A and B are shown apart, each in its own frame.
Chain A
Amino acid sequence: MLNRKKSPAIIDAVELHLQLKPYTKFTLDNGVEVYSIHAGAQEVVMVEMVFMAGNWQENKNIVAATTNFMLKNGTKQKKAFAINEHFEFHGAYLNRGCQNETATFTLHTLGKHLPKLLPVMSEILTDSIFPEEELVIYKQNQKQRLSVNLKKCDFVANRLIDKYLFGEQHPYGKYSSAEDYDAISKEDLIAFYNQFYTNGKCIIFTAGVLPADIQEQLNNAFGSLPLNKTPLPTKTYQTIPTEQKKHKITNDENGVQGAIRLGRPFPNRHYPDFTKVQVLNNLFGGFFGSRLMSNIREDKGYTYGIHSYLQNLIEQSAWMISTEAGRDVCAATIAETYKEMARLREETIEETELHLVRNFMMGSLLSDLDGPFQTISRWKSYVLNGLDEEYFKKAINTIRTVSADELKELANRYLNEDDFYELVVV
């Protein structure tokens, strides 16, 4: 007779042998480094160029993001429409993204189309002209998009909490306004583009079922560009957090929910306790079975979801708790969150719970490493953060061995109500 009350035997995920598939690294003629992972079942390829062209480098607000966005909007030879048509004809996606330190320029395509697409990426990196009429449309549409986003409590809250933590003068804390869009000129974009793309610093990541001549193809397309020749300006920024820690904003008188953000500054990945705190964070609010989800969603029903996380930033991080809760239960949600912090400070975590978190994190990591795009994405994060395989090994070791006492001590160090900035936007 089948005993349905008894769980089947499991392999302890803690015992899983997790391996990060090693990359192959090669260098183009101009010294640009390429990290590659050849794997996968589908004939798809990703080529991602990472430029040190984030908002860290801009002298005027949103110049970095605008330059990045408008890379596809025209070269000396091709109008925006022709560029889009070329990539779309080949069923490819050419995306770009601007972060704080970095900006990306990414191609996803079936491998067979690479020879048609890489040369146009190269053209975009040397011959973009940022047409005035395209800039006018961009400004108008971005301002309109901003006006819609500013109606959303979560959007407003995300901007403000970063400002409180880092200050508006810091790349992590500043944000866009309609006036910023108005102030941008074509000349700003061209200057930024010349310095940080055409003559910028670049690292390439590629993954998928790579063609045998991938090195040659990348070298032909990008190996003679004037990249990595000129040193970048070194810029440092001070964080200037706001004095006042608790903030309440009414963005919409009729709002039925409040966006709650609690955050405290936290060091970056090189900090010795970082991986241990990641275990504590998982237990606190990092997955569906976390304390915050169990209490505030699954027991009280105050919210559809509540999460805590360490911000994915290079220079320094922040520990954040984020949720949208019913307007009348916002205060109760915050109170329960602090209660959960207190429990972690005062009570030692039981081994059954800790063991579950260890297993969950190991399984989740195994899943994260499945597939070429996931693998290269992890390597990219390590390379950009100045980490190596040792970090991966250390992280796994931490998941396996960190003790309940250590986590309690970390909770006492980092999960104190007084250290948190607190924001509710209705």
Chain B
Amino acid sequence: MVHYNRFVLDNGLRVLVHEDSSTPMAVVNVLYDVGAKDEDPNKTGFAHLFEHLMFGGSINIPDYDEPLQRAGGENNAYTTNDLTNYYCSMPAENIETAFWLESDRMLSLAFSKKSLEVQRKVVCEEFKEHYINKPYGDVWFKMRELAFTTHPYKWMTIGKELSHIETATIDDVKAFFAKHYRPVNAILVVAGNVTTEQVKSLAEKWFGPIPMGEKYERNLPAEPVQTAPRKLEVTADVPLDSLVKTWHIEARLDKGYYVADLITEILGGGGSSRLYQALVKEKQLFSSLDCYHFGSIDKGLLTIEGKLVKGINIEDADMAVNEQLLKIQAELIEDNELQKVKNKTESVIAFEDMSIMSRASSLANYELLGDANLMNTELERYQAITAEDIREYSRIIFNENNSNTLYYRSKN
């Protein structure tokens, strides 16, 4: 049970406080309700580039990192297709430094041209390091474009192409800030050795005076229901053939999401999972095989991805995967196996909640979903899932017409 208090400032900033006096540390987590899905299709990668620029100095403070480090603090941030999250931790005594820094950059950035120039280059190197200069690095660029025709999940957080990042201008930066980085679009979570009273007064003092801004009304094009299987084949300079398959699943708060989450565990969660046992160990078609999803807020994808044993025909491997999927659609899962994946879920939640950092970011994420208390009650949603649910949703998800298949072949 993670206890928290919640209040909202007059400017719309939502504030959550999680008190934990057993730690000498405090965490300040600021989540902005903007992700890559909110980008202009011709300026992709911008939300993430912007995240870098948030460290390039704000209106009153030339450098974000230096004062925080001086206060014994550390920080980082991440951008996903759904959201952008900034977090810092420091000795609890110095928490006001984080309020000062975070509120100033919410008030206004410095919009430094030099910062934009440098961070464009840094992000281009990040792009190269993770997606160009790695074997299979472009798999998800291709898969997203295959699986999504309309919804902005069709591009990666890093951006669709380097040129989008290279051509970003300071006016783009200013417009993006004004649209998304306002109190009314943000969630502040403070966790650790703090009191709610203290956080209330600090939040009023530092964030209270910031103008509310306009609430960003998200109006994204919905992905039409897929009506026929899609296939793509590519050949690249990689040592092994790779098979990647995806299927559309329900949105984050729908029942189907929770069922899909358990299905990924049944199929690919560990050494006793079905796909691993059948296709890596028994049939030896794959040398590695994973089943996962990204936890997307909107309707996302369930993925099966594996590297083939050399000499195995990719069509045969694909058929063997489908056999396993037919099985989960035909036969009810045994109690023992269902209990296994539920136990695993319980355990994952307990381990995730160990650090105040992850408790803070979870609270922010659940608040973004609409109810921070979901953090405490979500396990019940998993516990309620039945063997019939698994079979029923497997039939919906693994419908052939809902599938996207990528044959990523080795040219060697």
Contact at B270–A84, with CB atoms within 8 Å? yes
Contact at A148–B93, with CB atoms within 8 Å? no
**A302 vs B129: C-alpha distance when bound (angstroms):** 12
Q: Chain B, 1-39, contact with A by CB distance < 8 Å: what is the 0/1 string? A: 000000000000000000010111100000000000000
Chain B residue with Cβ nearest A11 = B93
Chain B residue with Cβ nearest A353 = B66
**A150 vs B344: C-alpha distance when bound (angstroms):** 34
Contact at B284–A366, with CB atoms within 8 Å? no
Contact at B271–A370, with CB atoms within 8 Å? no
- Decide yes or no whether B209 CB sits under 8 A from chain A: yes
Within 8 A of B (CB), among A286-306: 287-289, 297-304
- Decide yes or no whether B340 CB sits under 8 A from chain A: yes
Q: What secondary structure prevails in chain B residues at the interface with A?
A: helix
Q: Chain B, 125-144, contact with A by CB distance < 8 Å: what is the 0/1 string? A: 11011001111100000000
Given contacts A153-B133, A304-B126, contact A137 B280 (CB under 8 A): yes
- Decide yes or no whether B65 CB sits under 8 A from chain A: yes
| 15 additional A-B residue pairs with CB within 8 Å, beyond A7-B100, A44-B354, A303-B122 | A10-B94, A16-B24, A16-B72, A41-B354, A42-B351, A90-B347, A144-B288, A255-B133, A287-B74, A289-B65, A301-B120, A301-B125, A304-B123, A359-B69, A370-B25
Given contacts A11-B93, A324-B129, contact A91 B70 (CB under 8 A): no
Q: Which residues of B contact A364 (CB under 8 A)?
A: 72, 74
Given contacts A5-B60, A366-B91, contact A301 B271 (CB under 8 A): no
Assign chain A's interface to a size class.
35 or more
Contact at A288–B65, with CB atoms within 8 Å? yes
Tell me which of A89, A137, A148, A289 contacts B238 (CB under 8 A). A148
How many residue pairs at the A-B interface have CB separations less than 8 Å? 216
Contact at B209–A44, with CB atoms within 8 Å? no
A-B contact pairs, 23 of them (CB 8 A): A84-B272, A85-B271, A137-B284, A140-B309, A148-B307, A257-B129, A288-B69, A289-B65, A289-B66, A289-B69, A299-B118, A301-B117, A301-B118, A301-B119, A303-B122, A325-B125, A326-B124, A360-B69, A363-B91, A366-B25, A366-B91, A367-B89, A370-B23
Contact at B348–A301, with CB atoms within 8 Å? no
- Decide yes or no whether B277 CB sits under 8 A from chain A: yes
Q: What secondary structure prevails in chain A residues at the interface with B?
A: mixed
The 9 closest A-B pairs by CB, nearest first: A363-B72, A301-B121, A91-B347, A13-B72, A84-B271, A85-B272, A8-B96, A84-B272, A304-B126
Within 8 A of A (CB), among B155-193: none
* B166 CB to nearest A CB, Å: 12
Q: Which residues of A contact B287 (CB under 8 A)?
A: 140-141, 144-145
Within 8 A of A (CB), among B56-81: 59-61, 65-67, 69-74
Q: Which residues of A contact B309 (CB under 8 A)?
A: 140-141, 144
Contact at A297–B238, with CB atoms within 8 Å? no
- Decide yes or no whether A88 CB sits under 8 A from chain B: yes
Q: Which residues of B contact A360 (CB under 8 A)?
A: 69-70, 72-74
Q: Which residues of A contact B310 (CB under 8 A)?
A: 144
Q: Which residues of A contact B96 (CB under 8 A)?
A: 8-10
Tell me which of B97, B307, B345 contacts A7 (CB under 8 A). B97
Chain B residue with Cβ nearest A84 = B271
Tell me which of A256, A300, A326 contacts B118 (CB under 8 A). A300
- Decide yes or no whether A96 CB sits under 8 A from chain B: no
* B13 CB to nearest A CB, Å: 16
Given contacts A13-B91, A304-B126, contact A44 B350 (CB under 8 A): yes
Given contacts A88-B340, A88-B344, A370-B24, contact A304 B60 (CB under 8 A): no
Contact at B346–A110, with CB atoms within 8 Å? yes
* A350 CB to nearest B CB, Å: 13
- Decide yes or no whether B244 CB sits under 8 A from chain A: no
- Decide yes or no whether A92 CB sits under 8 A from chain B: yes
**A140 vs B288: C-alpha distance when bound (angstroms):** 11
- Decide yes or no whether B235 CB sits under 8 A from chain A: no
- Decide yes or no whether B298 CB sits under 8 A from chain A: no
Using a CB–CB distance below 8 Å, which chain A residues touch chain B? 2, 4-5, 7-11, 13, 16, 40-44, 72, 80-81, 83-85, 88-92, 108-110, 137, 140-141, 144-145, 147-148, 150-153, 252, 254-257, 287-289, 297-304, 324-326, 355-356, 359-360, 362-364, 366-367, 370-371, 373
Contact at A367–B134, with CB atoms within 8 Å? no
Which of B103, B120, B270 is most buried by chain A, counting CB atoms within 10 A of its CB? B270
**A256 vs B356: C-alpha distance when bound (angstroms):** 39
Chain B residue with Cβ nearest A1 = B209
Contact at B91–A370, with CB atoms within 8 Å? no
- Decide yes or no whether B107 CB sits under 8 A from chain A: yes
- Decide yes or no whether B147 CB sits under 8 A from chain A: no
Q: Which residues of A contact B345 (CB under 8 A)?
A: 91
Q: Which residues of A contact B238 (CB under 8 A)?
A: 148, 151
**A363 vs B26: C-alpha distance when bound (angstroms):** 11
Q: Which residues of B contact A300 (CB under 8 A)?
A: 118, 121
Q: Which residues of B contact A16 (CB under 8 A)?
A: 24, 72, 91
Contact at B66–A8, with CB atoms within 8 Å? no
**A41 vs B133: C-alpha distance when bound (angstroms):** 42
**A151 vs B134: C-alpha distance when bound (angstroms):** 7
Contact at B239–A151, with CB atoms within 8 Å? yes
Tell me which of A4, A43, A301 contacts B350 (CB under 8 A). A43
Q: Which residues of A contact B24 (CB under 8 A)?
A: 16, 366, 370
**A14 vs B239: C-alpha distance when bound (angstroms):** 52
**A13 vs B135: C-alpha distance when bound (angstroms):** 44
- Decide yes or no whether B205 CB sits under 8 A from chain A: yes
**A145 vs B336: C-alpha distance when bound (angstroms):** 33
**A325 vs B128: C-alpha distance when bound (angstroms):** 9
Given contacts A303-B122, A370-B355, contact A11 B94 (CB under 8 A): yes
* A98 CB to nearest B CB, Å: 18
**A152 vs B239: C-alpha distance when bound (angstroms):** 12
Q: Which residues of B contact A304 (CB under 8 A)?
A: 122-123, 125-126, 129
Given contacts A2-B205, A137-B281, A356-B69, contact A41 B121 (CB under 8 A): no
**A413 vs B352: C-alpha distance when bound (angstroms):** 44
Q: Which residues of B contact A91 (CB under 8 A)?
A: 343-348
Given contacts A137-B281, A148-B307, A257-B128, contact A4 B272 (CB under 8 A): no
- Decide yes or no whether B353 CB sits under 8 A from chain A: yes
- Decide yes or no whether B304 CB sits under 8 A from chain A: no
Q: Which residues of A contact B250 (CB under 8 A)?
A: none
Given contacts A2-B209, A41-B20, A144-B309, contact A363 B74 (CB under 8 A): yes
Contact at A4–B100, with CB atoms within 8 Å? yes
Q: Which residues of B contact A325 (CB under 8 A)?
A: 125
Contact at A8–B97, with CB atoms within 8 Å? yes
- Decide yes or no whether B90 CB sits under 8 A from chain A: yes
* B245 CB to nearest A CB, Å: 19
Contact at B60–A4, with CB atoms within 8 Å? yes
Contact at A144–B125, with CB atoms within 8 Å? no
Which of B100, B133, B347 is most buried by chain A, counting CB atoms within 10 A of its CB? B133
Contact at B240–A147, with CB atoms within 8 Å? yes
Given contacts A92-B347, A145-B288, A359-B70, contact A13 B60 (CB under 8 A): no
Q: Which residues of A contact B356 (CB under 8 A)?
A: 370
